[in-house]
Amino acid sequence: MHLDFQSRRSFMKSTVAILAAGRSGTARASEGLPEVDRLRATDGDDRHQPAWDEMLEITVGPRNADLVGTGDRVIQAAVDYVKRLGGGTVRILPGTYTLRNSIYLPSKLRLLGSGPETIITKNASETIAIADDSDWYDQEITLASNGNFKVGDGVVLQITNPHNGSTDVIKRSLVAKSGNRFKLSDGLRKNLWLSGKPTCSSLFPLFTSEYTSDVTIEKLTLDGNGSNNANLNGNYGGCIFLQDCNRYTIRNVETRNYNGDGISFQICHDIVVENCHSHDNTNLGVHPGSGSQRPLIRNCVLERNDQGLFWCWGVKFGLAEGNRMIDNRSYGTSIGHNDTDNVMRNNEISGSGKVGILFRDDNRGRDFWANRNVVEHNRISNTGGEDGIAIDIQGQTKDVRLVNNDLRETRQPMKRIGVRVGSQAANIELARNTIEGFSTAIVDQRAAT
């Protein structure tokens, strides 16, 4: 039995129109207001501004730049200067820049490089045990040895939580020292007790921000030096990591070799990732994180990551279109816990190690599955080992449209499946899909229950 999706189709069209209007700044907050057609700079009005012929631009480079250097301090100085004057562009000239801490991005910034000639990377990480107890209200740690840590470094503190056994992760900067005793940029707010074997590691995202908006990152190559760095989970880091940010555009950026995620954003809204190349990262290529609304991932190449595109928890009204997800070790795309009302369209997904598109069984509550999503006009080929699956719909996923997709297996059929629909799934529309070369085109486990 299939749902009547005509009303849903109309709804999705209107949603896309509203989304486009919101991104262009033409959507009106209230009906009936006159159009703003004579723009002036008015104090406090950050919605309507004239298109100025020239804005502030600061250059950073190894030589012949406004600010000369090749480390995080010179880039951060340029960014902070632009922030003080209300926004503008920081242009990073060709060169290799090796960071000891993240670049913290403010609002109203354009960060512009020279493509493959501007490489942002980081030093090798070092992990040292913490040698004395610190309580949650403290703002300092004592290391077992000084190692190569310096004032100004970005660090991650990790400990086994003494109360529930989970791992606590704290990101801070080192701002002062006496011997092996370091002051932190902020209070701990978690207990670092020796019973939990706490450590300090020189790990950080290359670019990061919290509670900022209206930022563009363009034409940069970010290399995480993954072979010389410990893993940092994508909920805390990546080549680019954003938390609680709005209206970021990441365009023509290469994110590679991070021992973690390429691009990760958590509770961030109206994020655009387009024409980017995220590859050879240990975990996820692009990670629209928990609660993110209206992400747009378009015309990107996501290859040789563990997963290409990972829709986290509660990601809604997003669009993934025109992307190529190639040779990702586990999944080309994974979608699950409360990720609803998203569209995946015109993507090419090939060579995935396990599943091309996975609808996860995130069985944590009454209705936590990836419902009301559309998968259309995608090309999925050569997925998994001998039991690979092009599209796998697990758990109580419902109200999903799979239409006009081309699923192909050009190797031997083996035990490979085109589409598998789990026994508890409901209202899954399969229409006008081409499914060729598999041992079984469609396995509908609902029919066996």
> What does the domain layout of the chain look like in residue ranges?
54-123+211-233+243-284, 127-201, 306-449
Buried b or exposed e, range 239-268, using 16+ CB within 10 angstroms: bbbbbebbbbbbbebbbbbbbbbbbbbbbb
Would you say the CATH fold of 127-201 matches that of 54-123+211-233+243-284?
Answer: no
Task: Assign residue 341 a region (left: φ > 0; alpha: ψ between -120 and 50; beta: otherwise).
Answer: left
Q: Is 440 exposed, middle or buried (0-12, 13-18, 19+ CB in 10 A)?
A: middle
User: Rounded to an integer, what distance in angstroms lies between the CA atom of residue 396 and that of residue 444?
Assistant: 13
Residues whose CB is less than 8 angstroms from the CB of residue 25 and which lie 6 or more positions away in sequence, other chains included: 47, 48
The CA distance from 207 to 111, in Å, is 10
pLDDT of residue 230: 98
Which is nearest to 258 in space by CA: 279, 287, 288?
Answer: 279
Please give the Cα distance from 99 to 95 (Å, whole number). 13
pLDDT along the chain (449 residues), means of 10: 40 42 46 88 85 91 98 98 96 98 98 97 98 96 95 97 90 97 97 96 98 98 98 97 98 98 98 98 98 98 98 98 98 98 98 98 89 98 97 98 98 97 97 98 86
Classify 214 in phi/psi space as left (phi over 0), alpha (psi -120 to 50) or beta. left
How many Å separate Cα 49 from the centre of its chain?
A: 30
User: Per CATH, is 54-123+211-233+243-284 categorized as 3.50.50.60?
Assistant: no
Q: Which fold has domain 127-201?
A: Elongation Factor Tu (Ef-tu); domain 3 (2.40.30)
**Where is 11: in which H helix or E strand?**
helix 6-24
Rounded to whole angstroms, the Cα distance separating 96 from 114 reads 11
Q: Is 366:398 a contact under the CB 8 Å cutoff?
A: no
Name residue 69's amino acid. Answer: G
Tokens coding 385: 């080992």
Q: What is the pLDDT of residue 449?
A: 59
For 120, half-sphere exposure in the C-beta direction (CA atoms, 13 angstrom radius) is 36
